[in-house]
Structure 1
């Protein structure tokens, strides 16, 4: 008896989502509820330097900054590099650029001068927005020390497929890769509202991250504002042990964080959080032990999402359909997902590479250097997964050696490049290792005639790498293992460290 190929193959296709409206402007869409919500809080900064920004005030500020940016003589399509700190100015500048037809580059404030200079050289910004305490690149672009304001201007409308913003992600080449996204990317995030968040307009969504982290920017700010909900962001410097108290005090109904934040919070007494419906997690795999401990402590679930800078999240559990044990959930409704090998879908329950349909509205336009590359109908990622017959996705790891540090993807080649030619070091390999149950850190294994001073190695890393990229362990080896092709065998280093008696 024959079986349908759709059942046999690892393909999830319930049809495309509704098309993005045209003409379209991402920032205007995010703030579309502002006229009707007026004095409703759009943003509350909680703990420390608390403040409230209403929808009306947020929209007007964005329009004034948009006018101020255009008054600098910038043209539509010009790029603006962010060297901004953890303040509300970050999302305001982001929306203002897009409103004005400019292209923001929201780079992390943790980047060193060298790293920021590399991004500036790749993108050639027409303007740099800067705040004290954040590194500045060597660049000929003019620098503004505060957000400019002028008369409000209307949003620049146009083709939803045109470039809206550029984000940087650690690539496999050893240097951060610029990813170009279209205005339509925000429209695609609607699939997360039911597929991951369970988002409602009366929600108060608290994100534990900083304003200048892309996870916070999307999940903590853009999505709640697109729905007309209230976003809560902790003030800079709020420690992990204070977060649960802020969730309770400010009646957060949804809490979002990286897995490591949940782990830290559970080390302290967690108060009752009566308004909390559930938590959200992304950025790295959420250990089952953390998920279970959170549920037992708070009585609420954590719903995890799997995604990437090239397409944001696309597989997740949700309040209406929690992920089955051991899986990452299902493709969000409207997503067309396959598990492929050599460009063709594999049978169900067979490992392969996660692939996204080339017509997904959230999929990137391409990198800085190249347009989107697909294999037939599919954009193939480096994530190895399997798909069950009902669409459940099980994450099996990456096909490359990418590391994950506190929710940030980090290329081992980028860390290793920072130590090229260092002192008596003859070689090095950056690897994430498990130092205790459910806790991983970046370790730098290096070869040399003898052990080198950890303190000097740390100082070297601090000068060249953002904090989240810096190794936490430095481990001397007489030689580093290599495969028959001469390439470093990073996995063998990890296995030998974690199970030295194996």
Structure 2
């Protein structure tokens, strides 16, 4: 445990869950298939697991990897870790054993909690199997009281690693609590309903909304992470789901099932919360009109928390933006010297807010990615803010193309190509050029009949010459990570290999 990560404030999410257990008792907190765990049962089981962790030598400040397929078990283990004032490090359960070993070394993990031991001696594994659970169930379920004057972070959230090795973003218990409370500033965030969660808890948005909904007395219904859009819609409508989180790729798939009559596909869903990556303006408008009037799109990051929200009437009037900057967020757009820029100019986005992380693990950061500098959270995005307070993210700093000295933002080109009839998906990236430093390529998913000539013609009308793609590559689908983000590095590598 790094000394700089310890804190004197002893507020802990374990206390919050004890309070939730007392308040909501027998109400279902977690549901997965036929399995249901009440709020009181969540706290009791987590206390037993915490004592079993203690028996296996885990203690306050230890960093523990969570690599469990079952999301109910992940929540139980996470709360148990917090009861010990240890630090939870959620890891995608789809990672292979060799990657788990690398992460264990890079993030100084005391142990990895797995479904079965895959370590082969490369790291310490605690297998959360039926036998382990039976042993844990013999312990007392009384509250586990923390000792000592120091407290430790709640989480180390791992970045997706789309631009290199994952980085660790350190978040305190207070930050996670404030992020959960902060959802109340965004829109009519539902209370005491049902949240359908179809994403692994290694994904920070999935985890944050699980905590946020549990803090509001809601039941979190976990859906297997491999799903079709029609499955989610059917479950929302048949099970009285009030809250659904989805990445833009999933929302786009849902829109493919709409008949365009204007009648929402999920009329009783109170909120469809969309985030995790950018979204085309016409898809936002269609989602609001054709999926649910409770559609919301946010811009957020693991290092900053939520920065802006597009919801309600703003979807109709400002769908080309990423929404209004939240009233509790101080957001600036700055130049390369970190000097604030006027409204409407593009620069690096930085934030100070209730939801920003405490720091980067071991101060590791990338120049063009998430980082903390001089008390500001830099998200690694290029953006602009209008005079009336709407944020527009134009792309990642690392995605910007510099062609012959001119800055080219992929999002601008993607918006033009998305408007071509028959185009379903687009990603623009640079690739090495001897003459210009970088050239521009567009990877396009389209219906049959769309030609390179159609795309080039639209670009000639809409874009300046130095922003027009020199290559168009047609694909069946774009490569994406589990969070729905396009893997531009893979696309670029396919051109440069």
TM range (shorter): 0.7 to 0.9
Contact 1:317-1:328 within 8 A present in 2 as well: yes
C-alpha separation in 1, matches of 2:182 and 2:350: 18
SS in 2 for 1:498: strand
Say which structure, 1 or 2, has more relative contact order (CA 8 Å, 6+ apart): 1
Give the direction of change, closer, same or farther, for the CA distance of 1:51–1:442 in structure 2 (3 Å limit). farther
Contact 1:258-1:281 within 8 A present in 2 as well: yes
SS in 2 for 1:227: coil
| Selected match of 1:439 from 425, 429, 432 | 425
Contact 1:343-1:375 within 8 A present in 2 as well: no
Q: Which residue of 2 aligns with 1:175?
A: 165
Give the direction of change, closer, same or farther, for the CA distance of 1:135–1:307 in structure 2 (3 Å limit). farther
C-alpha separation in 1, matches of 2:8 and 2:190: 22
C-alpha separation in 1, matches of 2:329 and 2:70: 33
Contact 2:67-2:114 within 8 A present in 1 as well: yes
1:18-66 alpha-carbon deviations (Å, 9 max, x no partner): xx99530023225532201111221233xxx333222111121122212
1:338-392 alpha-carbon deviations (Å, 9 max, x no partner): 11122221111111111112xx343222222218965545333311111122321
1:94-143 alpha-carbon deviations (Å, 9 max, x no partner): 121122211111111122333222211102221221114x9658623243
Number of equivalent positions: 408
Give the direction of change, closer, same or farther, for the CA distance of 1:154–1:368 in structure 2 (3 Å limit). same
TM, length-normalised to structure 1: 0.72
Q: Which residue of 2 aligns with 1:109?
A: 93
**How many Å apart are 1:160 and its aligned residue?**
9.3
Q: Which residue of 1 aligns with 2:211?
A: 222
Query: Is the counterpart of residue 481 in structure 1 residue 471 in structure 2?
Result: no
Give the direction of change, closer, same or farther, for the CA distance of 1:348–1:139 in structure 2 (3 Å limit). same
Contact 1:481-1:493 within 8 A present in 2 as well: no
Q: Which residue of 2 aligns with 1:421?
A: none
| Selected match of 1:54 from 18, 24, 38 | 38
C-alpha separation in 2, matches of 1:66 and 1:327: 45
Contact 1:401-1:490 within 8 A present in 2 as well: no
Q: Which residue of 2 aligns with 1:68?
A: 52
Contact 1:129-1:144 within 8 A present in 2 as well: yes
Give the direction of change, closer, same or farther, for the CA distance of 1:334–1:293 in structure 2 (3 Å limit). closer
- The within-5 A match list for 1:4-23 is 22-23=9-10
Task: Supply the RMSD in Å over aligned alpha carbons.
Answer: 3.5
**How many Å apart are 1:274 and its aligned residue?**
4.3
Query: Is the counterpart of residue 276 in structure 1 residue 269 in structure 2?
Result: yes
Give the direction of change, closer, same or farther, for the CA distance of 1:64–1:293 in structure 2 (3 Å limit). same
SS in 2 for 1:202: coil
| Selected match of 2:72 from 76, 88, 92 | 88
SS in 1 for 2:106: helix
Query: Is the counterpart of residue 25 in structure 1 residue 12 in structure 2?
Result: yes
**How many Å apart are 1:201 and its aligned residue?**
2.4
Contact 2:180-2:211 within 8 A present in 1 as well: no
Of 244-253 and 263-272, deviating more is 263-272
**How many Å apart are 1:402 and its aligned residue?**
9.1
| Selected match of 2:256 from 256, 259, 267 | 267
SS in 2 for 1:355: strand
Q: Which residue of 2 aligns with 1:286?
A: 279
Contact 2:49-2:77 within 8 A present in 1 as well: yes
Q: Which residue of 2 aligns with 1:353?
A: 348
**How many Å apart are 1:439 and its aligned residue?**
2.4
C-alpha separation in 2, matches of 1:215 and 1:375: 23
SS in 1 for 2:144: coil
C-alpha separation in 1, matches of 2:428 and 2:97: 22
1:244-271 alpha-carbon deviations (Å, 9 max, x no partner): 1100111112221111112222333698
Q: Which residue of 1 aligns with 2:338?
A: 343
Q: Which residue of 2 aligns with 1:387?
A: 385
Give the direction of change, closer, same or farther, for the CA distance of 1:294–1:136 in structure 2 (3 Å limit). farther
**How many Å apart are 1:276 and its aligned residue?**
1.1
Contact 1:80-1:102 within 8 A present in 2 as well: yes
Q: Which residue of 1 aligns with 2:488?
A: none
SS in 1 for 2:30: strand
Give the direction of change, closer, same or farther, for the CA distance of 1:177–1:212 in structure 2 (3 Å limit). closer
**How many Å apart are 1:303 and its aligned residue?**
0.7
C-alpha separation in 2, matches of 1:484 and 1:369: 40
Gaps of 5+ in 2: 1-6, 366-370, 402-416, 444-468, 475-497
- The within-5 A match list for 1:308-457 is 308-319=301-312, 324-341=318-335, 342-357=337-352, 360-370=353-363, 374-401=372-399, 437-440=423-426
Of 249-258 and 372-381, deviating more is 372-381
Q: Answer 1 or 2: which has greater helix percent.
A: 2
